[in-house]
Structure 1
């Protein structure tokens, strides 16, 4: 493909300079190829009739007259929109533009996608639809990815981005949450799951020691689930998992993103994040040892999960309690910060969720605590 070759030439220096002009050439070559693959129509009405009758669009004729539709589409065409880079053009046509069922031809350009999104969101209000078109086509406003991808389509996912799930410490909950994550991924959602309640590797199950497998196998199952359950092959599944920094499995969790991690434990496409109460930063500031806890023993002792207790207040008690299984890591809390920073340099992960700050600041704290974050 000529446009790929031209795009690759950008980084080849000539007389000491990158060939930035190749980006425009690549974009023009790509758009020429797109034109050969477009399904064309003679009028707006012909196009919309085809899209509705072939189950590509919702029935716009229920909300708008033909004259109104032509007016709204004309607003988009009059804007004379043009892509400014190869990346922008290729991203739109590869990931957003609606294609025929066989995936071989394009049914939309940028103006058509902008307009159908505006028509759907305006729900029959002509002036509002025109306003949306003007705002989006000028790029003063950009709907979220699932909205821009799905609005107006008859076979679509949802128009919201992120979902939060919390996994309980049971096989039923693990299976239920994996299935729920796949269902949400299927409709276009990014899903974050809190794994902090899962018992750690080597903890007891039905009083049999060393029976639990920890969080890593669950992460592997989730990674495969998100890869499998995508949105009609057009938008990839995306997930994140969060773990409390005081969880027994935290080192294994973080090491899953190291470049040199063993392939059996390496997590490639699943995002990871750590839930960090202020107590951790207090320990790091004082350069003290860092203890992590086996969450099931915490639950047996206190009737509350490690992730539900106020560890800022309970940390010292957990360390002193002989009934709570714990270990002092070979690195201090300060060293742990350095380790996290190094892994972030390698992979961009983990995300940080500042649990204490979030719960101090959010206005609905009387309804419960904020325990995790989302994929973003």
Structure 2
């Protein structure tokens, strides 16, 4: 019997070769290779391809993954890796030996330089890599690559990497291997470093990523090393109450989505339905048509057919159109008012929450009548007590057509009903966010980004003029840039990095990597470049939080968890600030540093002495007083530092639990662009009884833990709530959101709901 090899050549069937591959995949793992061979039940036939045999082995190993036998995920990963090694070797023209032994080398260092050279000429890799690194540099770095680190990937990780991140040629064939990807990303991120130190930094960055100690955001993993280095995850736009600016932002949204950026869009300045236009009463159709236009842009600019664009749109709870806005994703009502592809978010001031508690009336206002209320500013430009005073004055003084009185509790009930139905809107507590904004001296925060963890200064751009050169027909448009927030994100793997020593080593390096992202970034719109260089804002998050708790024998629903969270995130905060301060010594402070809370020694709304006391109480004993003095002297390189993003795909790559979420279940199959993937938490066989799934946890403990983390985070958290509708009613859900506000959270992301048809079963007790 003959088999067909990848080259198309036939050769006699050799069962021993299959056993060599199975042995390679199973070596050192707690699995039985004979079991895989038996269960695969390969249906041999004349001309069967070696690729088909390999795919069958991969599928069989993946199907065997369970909480009792989690090592099968590494067997499936190695089989897929072996397949990848063979394919890449075939495309790039080098031999990968069939017989896998100690001398077997799946990577070919000699081909690394030619890989980049050949595909840079075709516009697949960035030519800057060849300009900035010599052939000798490539050879030195190729020899530094550690192929054994591929064995850290589980099946889901390598499958997601293979399907979405590894670079492909014009025919769609993968041309680079995982460690080469990490090396080329590191080479890209080290470009801002001094030439004489660059190779050292490349190796340092490579080690951090390839050991899975840190992860970078999806756009960074995808686009570093590519011609267009659009490395940022998300952008936040502010739309002014002006037709030119509305459609200017529609155009910006399209350009950002084209380069795979997510969007947060604030529409609170746009006048309400029935507002006058050029003094014609009742002419405005309000915010809903703008929402629908942005929705259609997200569908149309579908990122090369890979996925739809994605945007959250925020409106204030005092906006006169808020009731219609709440309904944009529900399945009832006028379909002409629906926008099913955007994510609604509601901005809530403290005064609303107070009135809700007291069951008082609430007044919806038209932003058109809330302009120039004080010092040339609009109502939305204020927060806290100033906002409350101005809001109450407008409640009294505005004409009847400019406002509408509702019951605060009825409005809140409608919001919660929509949350039950759709999991949204996201919630943004604007007063808390602005009070604790370290850069309140130079701006205000109206809303958050797509994933609701970014809290930074925002402002609308201003149209100045269009000028025409009558001789050439050249038209020049002039405008003054506003602040378009840019998210430059990376996360720490808490499964590997959580001690004081590890944080001291890793966190400053991640700060440096993300600062370099800003320097080499490609900006789809100029306002983003302007803002990014003025603030140099970054967002450091985490993954594997639940695994970190389990590994340290800490139960989610415990006071011990709260203490652990406080101490852990203090360490991250301290070394992030210290790292940014050291970087400021070397490269200079961010341009808007003077006048910030940082410059006054006020961190997270507290002075150095209070932070010092908190550190002594939680056992870290970090020297906040000395650090505050150093920051006053040298400044910070980055205006914002910490934000806990969702880390969905990047957690899958490194086999981590996502962000700060509890596990979804002890075993489930995730369906995404890579197909159906088996999911088990890290070391589930060892810690089976310690893990507790999200829907089994009292959600108050999720909020209380988030509150402890928030004490050391200058931005916010993508905080999900997990509810079972059979056991959580409206009053309970209301209590959770109210508790989030009371405990100082700035945002609440999704409210994820367990299916009503799902059979309830205690996982820890099921056989």
1:156-171 to 2 correspondences below 5 Å:
156-171=228-243
* Partner of residue 55, structure 1: 123
* Partner of residue 89, structure 1: 158
Secondary structure at 1:352's aligned position in 2? strand
The answer to whether residue 399 in structure 2 is matched with residue 347 in structure 1 is no
1:23-62 to 2 correspondences below 5 Å:
38=88, 39-42=91-94, 43-59=111-127, 60-62=129-131
* Partner of residue 389, structure 2: 313
Gaps of 5+ in 2: 1-54, 95-110, 452-767
Mapped contact 1:157–1:231 kept (Cα < 8 A): no
* Partner of residue 321, structure 2: 249
* Partner of residue 756, structure 2: none
Shift, 1:96, TM fit: 1.7
Mapped contact 2:317–2:348 kept (Cα < 8 A): yes
Task: Tell me the TM-score normalized by structure 1.
Answer: 0.84
Shift, 1:363, TM fit: 2.4
* Partner of residue 106, structure 1: 174
Indicate which of 436, 439, 453 corresponds to 1:364. 439
* Partner of residue 115, structure 1: 183
Q: State the alpha-carbon separation in 1 of the partners of residues 222 and 230 from structure 2.
A: 9
Indicate which of 264, 268, 272 corresponds to 1:192. 264
| Higher deviation after alignment, 264-273 or 276-285 | 264-273
* Residues 1:22 and 1:133: Cα distance change in structure 2 (over 3 Å): closer
Structure 1, residues 138-182: CA drift from partner, whole Å, max 9, x if none? 11111222221111112x252222222211112211111101121
| Higher deviation after alignment, 25-34 or 128-137 | 25-34
Mapped contact 2:257–2:309 kept (Cα < 8 A): yes
| Higher deviation after alignment, 47-56 or 176-185 | 47-56
* Partner of residue 323, structure 1: 399
| Higher deviation after alignment, 36-45 or 17-26 | 17-26
Shift, 1:21, TM fit: 8.1
Shift, 1:27, TM fit: 5.5
Shift, 1:287, TM fit: 0.9
* Partner of residue 137, structure 1: 210
Secondary structure at 2:159's aligned position in 1? helix
* Partner of residue 538, structure 2: none
Shift, 1:126, TM fit: 1.0
Equivalent residues, number: 368
Secondary structure at 1:219's aligned position in 2? helix
The answer to whether residue 412 in structure 2 is matched with residue 337 in structure 1 is yes
Structure 1, residues 322-358: CA drift from partner, whole Å, max 9, x if none? 42621123xx323433433343343332222221112
Indicate which of 75, 78, 98 corresponds to 2:147. 78
* Partner of residue 152, structure 1: 225
Secondary structure at 2:274's aligned position in 1? coil
| Higher deviation after alignment, 164-173 or 279-288 | 164-173
Q: State the alpha-carbon separation in 2 of the partners of residues 8 and 201 from structure 1.
A: 55
Structure 1, residues 47-80: CA drift from partner, whole Å, max 9, x if none? 2221222222123233333343233234333343
Q: State the alpha-carbon separation in 1 of the partners of residues 288 and 341 from structure 2.
A: 14
Mapped contact 2:313–2:343 kept (Cα < 8 A): yes
Kindly name which structure, 1 or 2, has the bigger radius of gyration based on alpha carbons. Answer: 2
* Residues 1:334 and 1:227: Cα distance change in structure 2 (over 3 Å): same
Shift, 1:26, TM fit: 6.7
Structure 1, residues 249-278: CA drift from partner, whole Å, max 9, x if none? 111111113354654333333222111111
* Partner of residue 127, structure 1: 200
Q: State the alpha-carbon separation in 2 of the partners of residues 308 and 50 from structure 1.
A: 53
Shift, 1:193, TM fit: 1.5
Q: State the alpha-carbon separation in 1 of the partners of residues 244 and 174 from structure 2.
A: 43
Mapped contact 2:219–2:232 kept (Cα < 8 A): yes
* Residues 1:366 and 1:301: Cα distance change in structure 2 (over 3 Å): closer
Q: State the alpha-carbon separation in 2 of the partners of residues 3 and 209 from structure 1.
A: 71
Secondary structure at 1:275's aligned position in 2? strand
The answer to whether residue 144 in structure 2 is matched with residue 69 in structure 1 is no
Structure 1, residues 266-322: CA drift from partner, whole Å, max 9, x if none? 333322211111111111111112221122233388775442355322232222224
Q: State the alpha-carbon separation in 1 of the partners of residues 119 and 435 from structure 2.
A: 50
Secondary structure at 1:80's aligned position in 2? helix
Mapped contact 2:167–2:175 kept (Cα < 8 A): yes
Q: State the alpha-carbon separation in 2 of the partners of residues 263 and 3 from structure 1.
A: 48
* Residues 1:128 and 1:25: Cα distance change in structure 2 (over 3 Å): closer
